[in-house]
Copies of this chain bind each other. A is one copy, B any other.
Amino acid sequence: MSTPHYHHLQQYFSDLITSQQLVSGSKLPSEREIGEQFKFTRVTIRQALKNLEAEGLIYRQNRRGWFVSPAAVIYHPASHLSFNLYVTEQGFSPSTEKLAQQIEPANERIAQLMNIPVGNPVLYLHRRRYIDQRPVLIEKMYINQNLLPGIEEEDLTESLSQILKRKYQQEYRDMDLSFKSTSLPAHAANDLGIAAGQPGLQIERINYTSAKQVLEVDYEFWRHDAVTINIAIRD
């Protein structure tokens, strides 16, 4: 068994995709159909498909089938561009859906960061963001409402940075970022409509005001194939 069977399959689909014979968003044949064509069992087929998924070439949506992944969007946190803006600039079509919004007591980490007592109210916002109709990102944010009174009355599917600018004359400035490549937690995988345990990218982002106060703490859960992160460090 010099090269395993799934490797040939992988190569076959990989070639179809890179040569654009299978284009972004198109559906692959079903696992059983592929099995008939190549005379392999589903176990072998699935091994190949999962490897292609790990490479970021294809993805699956629930029980609907396997699809060719669109190109990854480039996220450039230091540019302070909003999701809507940078996705649009790169030729994709963004959208945002609000899944939950509520006032919550701050947990220990949030309280410490925002320098408020544990249990004090913060605004919790839970959103799902799409690129070209594909859900790619779950966002859970904790917003310091002391600094942004009345923000809960705004349309929170909008870009937060725009609301900040318009209503509060504030802008994103300093931030602390933390990235980890790991599988998506069950809640995020669920919200994205994918099986638990898929690889993903987790980001914690802490946004500060110009006065170094914590404006907002953001947890992002990305499909791993949907994003590349670019950062320029200039001392």
How distant is A200 from chain B, measured CB to nearest CB, in Å? 7
Q: Are A178 and B54 in contact (CB under 8 A)?
A: no
Residue A220, interface by CB 8 Å: no
Residue A105, interface by CB 8 Å: no
Chain B contacts of A179 at CB under 8 A? Answer: 179, 228-231
Q: Are A200 and B177 in contact (CB under 8 A)?
A: no
Which stretch, A82-90, A95-103, A135-143, A168-176, touches the partner chain B?
A168-176
Contact with B along A218-234 (1 / 0, CB 8 A): 00000011001111111
Q: Are A177 and B231 in contact (CB under 8 A)?
A: yes
Chain B contacts of A174 at CB under 8 A? Answer: 232-235
A78-B233, A231-B231, A233-B78 are known contacts. Are A201 and B181 too (CB-CB below 8 A)?
A: yes
Residue A198, interface by CB 8 Å: yes
Q: Are B183 and A55 in contact (CB under 8 A)?
A: yes
In this complex, the member of A178, A197, A228 whose beta carbon has the largest number of chain B beta carbons within 10 angstroms is A197
Q: Are A183 and B230 in contact (CB under 8 A)?
A: no
Chain B contacts of A224 at CB under 8 A? Answer: 181-182, 199
A49–B229 alpha-carbon span in the complex (Å) = 29
Residue A77, interface by CB 8 Å: yes
Residue A180, interface by CB 8 Å: yes
Contact for A228 among B55, B176, B178, B198, CB less than 8 A: B178
Tier of interface size on chain A: 35 or more
Residue A72, interface by CB 8 Å: yes
Nearest-neighbor residue (CB-CB) of A7 within chain B? B196
Q: Are A197 and B54 in contact (CB under 8 A)?
A: yes
Contact for A72 among B72, B180, B232, CB less than 8 A: B180
Q: Are B231 and A198 in contact (CB under 8 A)?
A: no
Which residues of chain A from 179 to 216 have a CB within 8 Å of any chain B CB?
179-183, 196-201
A56-B182, A224-B182 are known contacts. Are A177 and B51 too (CB-CB below 8 A)?
A: no
Q: A54-B198, A77-B233 are in contact. List 13 more A-B contacts (CB 8 A).
A: A51-B197, A54-B199, A77-B231, A78-B233, A174-B235, A177-B229, A177-B231, A178-B228, A179-B228, A179-B229, A181-B181, A181-B199, A182-B225
